[in-house]
Structures are given as C-alpha cells and as structure tokens.
Amino acid sequence: MRRVLLILFTFLCSPFTSPAQTLETCQQAAEQNYPLIRQYDLIGKTTDLTVANIQKGWLPQISASAQATLQSDVTAWPDEMKTMLNTMGVDVKGLKKDQYRVGIDVSQTLYDGGMISSQKAMARQQGEVEAAQTEVTIYQVRQRVNEMYFGLLLLDEQIRLNADLQEVLSASEKKLASMLKNGTAAESDYNTVRAERLNVVQQATSLNSQRQTLTRLLSTFCGLEVKVPVKPVLSAAVAQQQTEQRPELKVIDARLRLADAQEKALNAALMPRLGLFAQGFYGYPGLNMFEDMMRHQWSLNGIVGARLTWNIGALYTRKNDKAKIQLQRDLAENQRDVFLFNNSLEQTQQNEDIARYRQLAADDEEIITLRNAVRKAAESKLAHGIIDVNDLVREINAENSARVQQSLHEIQMLKEIYDLRYTTNN
C-alpha cells in the first residue's frame, strides 16, 4: 500500500501534471524536494546506531594482553629454607627475573546503576534535538515559497493590467488615426499616444521576462512545474494565532528533555557497579609461586570472581555539573521567552498590515470607478477639442495606476495573511 501511495504522489508531483499549482501544493513539494529533508533519515539511523552501540555495554567485555618484564628483584626462598632443601636433595632454582604472560580478561556487568539506560536516553534526546533543528530549517522553506509565489501572482496581475492598458491606448490610437485622417487631430497627438503604447509594450516585455525567471526559480525550488499560480481565496486564507506549534519551540522542548536525561546520567554515575570477571593467562610465573620456583616452565592459570566497584569521584564535580545543566535549562527557557516576544511583535505588525490593506482595498473599487469615468470623459473632451492628448494620456495612466494599486493591495494583503499563518504555524 505504501508503494502505491508513493507512486501516486510521485505522479502527482511530476512535471507532466497540470502546471496550475496552489500555494499549499508548492509548499509541500518544496519541503519534499529540499535536500535537507534527507537529514531526517540520516539522524534517525545515526541515533539507532548510537543506541545499539550503547546497548552492547551489557555484552561480555573481552580484552587480550601480552607482556614481558625484567625485574630488579623477585620473590625468593629464605637462605635457611634453601639450605635445608638442598641438604634434602631438592634443587630450588627460584624465580627468574625475566617474566612473560599472554592472557585474556573477560568481564560481565550485572548491575550498572542505570548508566547504560541513561546513556541511551541521552542519545535519543540528542537525536530529537538535531531532528527538531532540521525541522526549523525545512519550515523556513515555506517563507521562501511564499515570497516567490506571491511575487509571481503580482507579476501576473501587472501583466494582465498591462494588456488592458495596451487595449485602451490602442483604441485611443485608432481614434486619433481616424481624426488625423479627417484633419481634426494633429500628427503629434497621434505620435504621443503611439509612443505611450509602445512604452507600455516594452514594460510588458520586461514583466514577462521577470515572470519567466521567477517561474523557473519556483519550479526548480519545488521540484515540479509551476506556470499558473492559483490566487488563494481571501476567505480561506484567514490565519489563527497558534504560536505553540512553531518548530523553534520544539527545539527548546527537546533541549529541556535532553537536560533531564543528562541529570539522570549524573545520578547513575554515583551508583555502584556489580559484575563478574574471569582472567586466564599462559606464562611464567603462574599463580603457583612455589611450583614456579622449582621449575622454570610456562603454565596455564585462571581466576574467576565477582567485583563490586563504587567510584565516588563523580561527587567532586557533581555540584558544578548539576549547575551547568540548570544553566542549560535557564538558557533554553530564555530562548523561549525571546522567541515568543519577537513572534508576538511580528504578529502584531502583520495584523496591523492586514487591517491597513483591508482599509485600502475598501476604497480601491470606488477610486477605479471614478478614474474610469474621468478617463472616458477625457476621451470625449479630446474628441471635441477641449483638452489635448497629454491630458488624456495622464488620465489613462491614472486609471491604470489605480487598478495596479488595487491588485497590489489585494496581493499584499494575501501575502501578509499567509505570512501570519507562517508566523503562527497554522
């Protein structure tokens, strides 16, 4: 089933699908296409390997060794004992000063005071911190998509309005051409309107070039073809304030949990250790010292037993170590306060901007209606010779400017709403 879903997702995100894409689709595609997304899997695998290695602390620990020594003195029989043994016909050679040993040591932990468990917990929490930090970087991809996506929407509106302006100027140019033919208009008036139309055509060329560049950037960033951005519906773009979902706060929470795990490790370091051990070696001298004094021969030797150790050296630094962990907690809490404070300021600014654009948008339609009426009146006045062509061009540009401002206000308000959604992560 997972394979089928993966194939379906790949098909939907392929360049052969419909070039019309919503903002949410682009955001999701960009996050999946961003190279850092693979770091989640790498962090998970690294954490699993680290935990597995720590778990092996419960396995028997085996070490091999070999040594050769030359001593200045060795254990020897007292002279009286040596003399007595010689009189009995026993040759006592004594120990040699050069000694050799090849051995193996095996130890098995039975109780470690919770050290291995605490180390595993620390490794997992460290992995969570790294994963949360990666999530912060990937979350920032949304903001970059927002910038390009709304930039593309704004260019589309400007291109559309540029085409409308060309139609208006073209209509005026045709009227002036007819008037010039009938001798009711000067050639300079015709040339003025024509030059203005050609200037608008040049602007269209520049806008289309900018759109092509931005489209390529957004498509590359998202990993799918984006040619026709879908303008979000205003009613569906309303943001609700839920700052607690921001990934930056998840990083802080993960760091606090890591501090808790570190403190548990400090407590485990004070506990005693209990284990079994076994030692075996082949060499000279062995454990039977008297036999080795009689015969200079290598022998097999072994020891098994139980060992209880309690290292109280951790008490020396425990106070400072706990203080350092508490400072880490305080630093994390301070970072939370700073983030929430800055985030609150950002939300306030964005809400104010949204309210401002709503107020501007409320007047835009009336301004366009008035500018349209003035432009039509200017066309009539020009036909009757009341005004010159420069006045008409000025009114045409004023109407177009009003339409551009309306589109700009609408796109900017939508962008601010989505920026607020980014700020609050909802």
Predicted pLDDT at 373: 93
- Mean pLDDT over the full length of the chain: 87
Q: What is the per-residue pLDDT across 265-274, written as a single tens digit (0 to 9) for each?
A: 999 988 999 9
Run of H or E residues at 274: strand 273-284
pTM: 0.79
Average pLDDT over residues 252-256: 95
**Residue 17's pLDDT is what?**
43
Q: How far is it, in rounded angstroms, from Cα 385 to Cα 186?
A: 11
Q: Please say if the pLDDT value at position 208 is more than 60.
A: yes
The SS3 call for residue 300 is: strand
What distance in Å separates the CA atoms of residue 11 and residue 137, rounded to the nearest whole number?
Answer: 27
Q: Report in angstroms the alpha-carbon separations of 220 from 89, 223, 290.
A: 98, 5, 84
* 376-397 pLDDT, tens digit each: 998 888 887 788 888 888 988 9
Strand-pairing partners, residue 300, are 282
Mean pLDDT throughout 41-45?
A: 91
What is the band of 288 on the pLDDT scale with cuts at 50, 70, 90?
confident
Name the helix (H) or strand (E) containing 101. Answer: strand 98-111
- Is a pLDDT exceeding 90 seen at residue 343? yes
Q: Where are the beta strands (DSSP E) in 14-125?
A: 20-21, 61-70, 98-111
Query: Residue 222 in contact with residue 26, Cβ under 8 Å?
Result: yes
pLDDT at 78 over 70: yes
Q: Are 261 and 253 contacting, i.e. CB atoms less than 8 angstroms apart?
A: no
Cα–Cα dist 140/135, whole Å:
9
CB 400 within 8 A of CB 204: no
Asked if the model's pLDDT at residue 148 lies above 80, the reply is yes
| pLDDT (average), residues 405-409 | 91
**Residues in the chain, how many?**
426
Residue identified by tokens 């932990």 is 109
**What six digits make up the tokens of 148?**
């390009």
Torsion region of 282: left, alpha or beta (phi above 0 gives left; psi -120 to 50 gives alpha): beta
Average pLDDT over residues 4-15: 38
Residue showing tokens 């570190």: 262
